[in-house]
């Protein structure tokens, strides 16, 4: 039996496209998807407390290389920081009801625009908590 890592290593990575898309009101996120046409599961990816930065976009592209359509959401209205104090202010400013609408809209976008029948949520730290809230909703 193969371990998870071995299974991923045996699959040839796909070529991917990445772009900024509007998925909820005036909110834009980062969409990464395989270029090859096909049916893929979706992932709603939620950023850490730093915001939707290049590191999150890179992870979205890596998941897409393995056969997922990933929409990295933005819960900070375009704000990104590397300062921990600023990051905590951004976290405290998040209105949870609106954040949940945002993430649900991302899942709906993946279903409607790309036909994703299976959708997971994924996040780290702040985004991990948000991912749990989305899954529970």
Is 4 contained in some domain?
A: no
Which domain does 37 fall in, by range? Answer: 12-136
Q: What is the pLDDT of residues 89-127, one digit of tens each?
A: 999 999 999 999 999 999 999 999 999 999 999 999 999
Give kind and range of the element (H or E) at residue 90: helix 84-93
For 104, residues 6+ apart whose C-beta sits below 8 A from its C-beta are 134, 137
CATH number at residue 80: 3.40.50.1820
Give pTM, 2 decimals: 0.91
Contact 41, 118 (CB under 8 A): yes
Residue 7 covered by a domain? no
- Does residue 61 lie within any of the structural domains? yes
Other CB atoms within 10 Å distance of the CB of residue 120: 17
Q: Are 70 and 32 in contact (CB under 8 A)?
A: yes
Whether residue 5 is contained in a domain is answered as no
Total number of domains in the chain? 1
Residue 136's pLDDT is what? 94
């Amino acid at each position: 039996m193969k371990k998870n890592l071995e299974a991923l290593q045996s699959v040839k990575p796909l070529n991917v496209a990445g772009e900024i898309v509007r998925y909820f009101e005036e909110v834009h996120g980062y969409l990464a998807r395989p270029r090859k046409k096909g049916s893929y599961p979706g992932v709603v990816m939620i950023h850490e407390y730093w915001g939707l930065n290049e590191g999150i976009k890179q992870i979205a592209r890596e998941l897409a290389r393995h056969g997922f359509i990933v929409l990295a959401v933005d819960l900070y209205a375009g704000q990104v920081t590397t300062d921990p104090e600023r990051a905590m202010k951004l976290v405290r400013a998040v209105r949870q009801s609106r954040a949940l609408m945002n993430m649900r809209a991302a899942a709906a976008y993946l279903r409607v625009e790309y036909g994703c029948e299976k959708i997971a949520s994924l996040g780290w730290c702040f985004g991990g908590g948000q991912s749990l809230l989305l899954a529970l909703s």
